[in-house]
Amino acid sequence: MNTAITELLDIQYPIIQGGMAWVADYHLASAVSNAGGLGIIAAGGANADFVREQIKNAKQLCDKPFGVNIMLMNPEADKIAEVIVEEGVKVVTTGAGNPSKYMEMWKNAGIKVIPVVASVAMAKMMERCGADAVVAEGTESGGHIGETTTMSLVPQVVDAVSIPVIAAGGIGDGRGVAAAFMLGADAVQMGTAFLTTNECNIHENYKKKVIRAKDIDTKVTGRTTGHPVRTLRNKMTKEYLEKENNGASLEELELLTLGGLRKAVVEGDTENGSVMAGQIAGLINSSSNCEEFVRRLVTEMKDTITSVEKIAFGQ
């Protein structure tokens, strides 16, 4: 396939795996890249040495481009930004903040920089700072989110910037990929749908919870604290939302989510942990390997577009 993003990143399919903290390690990233998409290693809250090891391991497993995602609230973000340059990573994505201060260093190193944004204003700012593309991430996504839905955000970002746009949030199958193209995107980024792939090394309990989830099973905690996070509903979200509604202090609320993602991903504690997933979790009902999954997405996307053509043009 050929889009502005497959050209920019030198990949076969315009399908990018989201940089999910604690989840997206070198196994998953290299499997997605080997399948012809773009795999991404998530730095999440990890330290710079850990990220360097992950990058080195990915290079052993795959000779195609892969990316690294920096979560900008990470206290070691400065060091990780440098590790990415030192290790010759080809693509960097950023989340949960403004990456402007690293832009010059990354551009000088020839790295493709793709900030994740949740608003038109942020997309325009990133274009002005020299971003090569943006991921426009709708509020359907798992984890740290913005306010606007993918359906509304993507076409508005597409109209506001001249760089390629990658759609994210609520995409789980080939119909979603086709829809993203209809909105003017040049690629998709998917997170939740990769959680249940065989190469995703998270606890089985996490995978089971995603597979069992229905459309209405996500909750957003932290709307009042300024850090809204979407997770699958469980004991933690119930307690958190009760406390949040009753005006609990920031400290009290933070205690409930402290280390919560690790608890869910590593220990499999899906009741007390933060089981981050997007609203599309309800559509994810099976597991497969990344290669089969990417191939399925492309086939479904083509079939969808053929059906829509019949509606539009008759026959």
Q: How far is the CB of 135 from ligand TUI (least distance, A)?
A: 7
- Give the nearer residue to ligand TUI in terms of CB position, either 265 or 298: 265
Distance of CA 71 to the CA centre of its chain: 11
CA distance 99 to 194: 25
Which C-beta is closer to ligand TUI: that of 29 or that of 116? Answer: 116
User: In whole angstroms, how close is the CB of 299 to ligand TUI at the nearest point?
Assistant: 28
What's the distance, Cα to Cα, between the start and end of the chain in Å?
26
Judged by the rule CB under 6 A, the positions of this chain that interact with ligand TUI are: 21, 44, 71, 95-98, 116-118, 122, 137, 143-146, 227, 229, 261, 276
CB 44, min distance to ligand TUI, A? 6
Kindly state the smallest distance separating residue 162's Cβ from ligand TUI, in Å.
20
| Residue sitting closest to ligand TUI (CB) | 143
C-alpha 32/C-alpha 37 separation (Å) is 6
Shortest Cβ distance from residue 285 to ligand TUI (Å)? 23
Q: Choose between 268 and 291: whose C-beta lies nearer to ligand TUI.
A: 268
Q: How far apart are CA 162 and CA 166, in angstroms?
A: 12
Least distance in angstroms from the C-beta of 230 to ligand TUI: 8
Between residues 146 and 176, which has the closer beta carbon with respect to ligand TUI?
146
State which residue, 145 or 171, has the beta carbon closest to ligand TUI: 145
Q: Exposure of 214 by Cβ count < 10 A (0-12 exposed, 13-18 middle, 19+ buried)? A: exposed
What is the closest distance, in whole angstroms, from the C-beta atom of residue 196 to ligand TUI in the complex?
Answer: 18
Please say which residue, 44 or 273, places its beta carbon nearer to ligand TUI.
44
- For ligand TUI, the closer of residues 68 and 145 by Cβ is 145
